[in-house]
Amino acid sequence: MLLSLGKADVERRSFLRAGYSAAVSASVLNTGRTGSPVPDSLVAAGTRHVGRADVTAVHDVIALFSRIDQRHGGGHGRSAEHAAAQRYFVAATKLATEADDAPLTGHILRAMAHQAIDLGDPRSGLALAEASVDGSRYRGACPRERALLTVVHAKALSAAGRPRESAKALLRAERDLAAACGSDAEPARVFFFSEASLAHETACALRDSGDLDGAAAQFQLSARKRQADMFTRTHAVTLGYLGTVQARSGDLDLACATWSSALDAMGGVRSGRTRTVARDIRAVLEPHRDIPYMRAIDDRAAQCLAASTA
């Protein structure tokens, strides 16, 4: 299993076209419902049960993605290397499932759901998010991880056009995070998930549900609460999203001020999401380039895009 990960880039385009539905078998997604920790595909192949060394390798993969994503602004999952990320996630999901580590399985499925939503596949995103909160994957997780699983589920529900269910999930995520105590019993993989993170994901869900005022308030809360020096990329993206929401609400002047702060925060950061923010800024400002200060913001966004692809 782990040796095959080196083939991640061989069939990237075909893998992306296949999508998550083909990448992860129904038996893996439904493990929490069936009670069997082993995917049918592995049983049929006669694959051995994994040991602690294999589980440790899965933890290492997750930790690597987390460190790269949070500290440097993007790894495979954030810098458009989506096919490679999918292969790692699929392999990690199968290993964690066979090792009967339900919370870890849920964590990986949650990451896959987040990526599927980002790729514009809300159907797969919702299926993965629902699987991530199913059964012992949610029940066996610590409160902080429960909040993380649930808020991504809320985001998936919103992206799938189910705002009422999304609102209920957001309330549950808030309760879960309030119950977190930050003890040593929490797995290292959830170190980054804080009140600022919850506010950011809540804002995304509200935005996708059409609640622009609520989204703006949550993006503002996230920006105030986040340790910007430690989570630079996410802080920049939060400000970028806030500016776009402000523009959609009709306050383009305020949006430009927010985008200016976002572009300041993007200095030296390269990631798929910061590029998306820069492209969104340019798309909104394109009809207003005759206004000097808006043209200046547009020019800065163009420079950011050029630097990120150099």
Residue range 275-303: average pLDDT? 96
Average pLDDT, whole number, for the chain?
Answer: 81
Could you tell me if 126 and 162 lie in one domain? no
pLDDT band at 227 (very low <50, low <70, confident <90, very high): confident
Could you tell me if 87 and 196 lie in one domain? no
The answer on pLDDT for 97 being more than 90 is no
- Choose the weakest-confidence range: 10-14, 190-194, 208-212, 288-292: 10-14
Could you tell me if 166 and 263 lie in one domain? no
What pLDDT is recorded for position 122?
A: 94
Which of 77, 108, 141 is a domain's end point? Answer: 141
Could you tell me if 3 and 108 lie in one domain? yes
Percent pLDDT > 70 in the chain is: 73
For the segment 18-72, what is each residue's pLDDT rounded down to a tens digit?
A: 555 555 545 556 554 434 443 444 334 445 555 666 666 666 666 655 554 444 3
Could you tell me if 241 and 218 lie in one domain? no
Could you tell me if 104 and 155 lie in one domain? no
Is residue 140 within 8 Å of 120, Cβ to Cβ? no
For the segment 160-199, what is each residue's pLDDT rounded down to a tens digit?
A: 999 999 999 999 999 999 999 877 689 988 988 999 999 9
What pLDDT is recorded for position 90?
A: 82
What pLDDT is recorded for position 131?
A: 95
What pLDDT is recorded for position 29?
A: 64
Could you tell me if 7 and 77 lie in one domain? yes
For the segment 198-223, what is each residue's pLDDT rounded down to a tens digit?
A: 999 999 999 999 999 999 999 999 99
Is residue 98 within 8 Å of 58, Cβ to Cβ? no
Percent pLDDT > 90 in the chain is: 55
pLDDT band at 15 (very low <50, low <70, confident <90, very high): very low
Could you tell me if 14 and 92 lie in one domain? yes
Is residue 125 within 8 Å of 156, Cβ to Cβ? yes
**Phi then psi for 9, rounded to 5 degrees?**
-95, 0
Which of 107, 141, 175 is a domain's end point? Answer: 141
Convert the chain into a string of H (helix), E (strand) and C (coil).
CCHHHHHCCCCHHHHHHHHHHHHCCHHHHCHHHHCCCCCHHHHHHCCCCCCHHHHHHHHHHHHHHHHHHHHHCCCCCCCCCHHHHHHHHHHHHHHHHHCCCHHHHHHHHHHHHHHHHHCCCHHHHHHHHHHHCCCHHHHCCCHHHHHHHHHHHHHHHHHCCCHHHHHHHHHHHHHHHHCCCCCCCCCHHHCCCCHHHHHHHHHHHHHHCCCHHHHHHHHHHHHHHCCCCCCHHHHHHHHHHHHHHHHHCCCHHHHHHHHHHHHHHCCCCCCHHHHHHHHHHHHHHHHHCCCHHHHHHHHHHHHHHHHHCC
- Short-list 121, 175, 179, 127, CA closest to 151: 175
Residue range 109-125: average pLDDT? 91
Residue range 107-133: average pLDDT? 92
Range of the domain at 77: 1-141
Is residue 125 within 8 Å of 159, Cβ to Cβ? yes
Could you tell me if 299 and 249 lie in one domain? yes
Residue range 74-86: average pLDDT? 56
Could you tell me if 153 and 136 lie in one domain? no
pLDDT band at 144 (very low <50, low <70, confident <90, very high): very high
The answer on pLDDT for 113 being more than 80 is yes
What pLDDT is recorded for position 288?
A: 97
User: Distance between CA 112 and CA 121 in Å, rounded?
Assistant: 11
- Choose the weakest-confidence range: 135-144, 171-180, 223-232: 223-232
The answer on pLDDT for 158 being more than 90 is yes
- Short-list 76, 149, 162, CA closest to 119: 76
Could you tell me if 2 and 126 lie in one domain? yes
Domains: count for the chain: 3
Which residue would you say has higher pLDDT here, 97 or 73? 97
Could you tell me if 290 and 212 lie in one domain? no
What pLDDT is recorded for position 74?
A: 37
What pLDDT is recorded for position 54?
A: 63
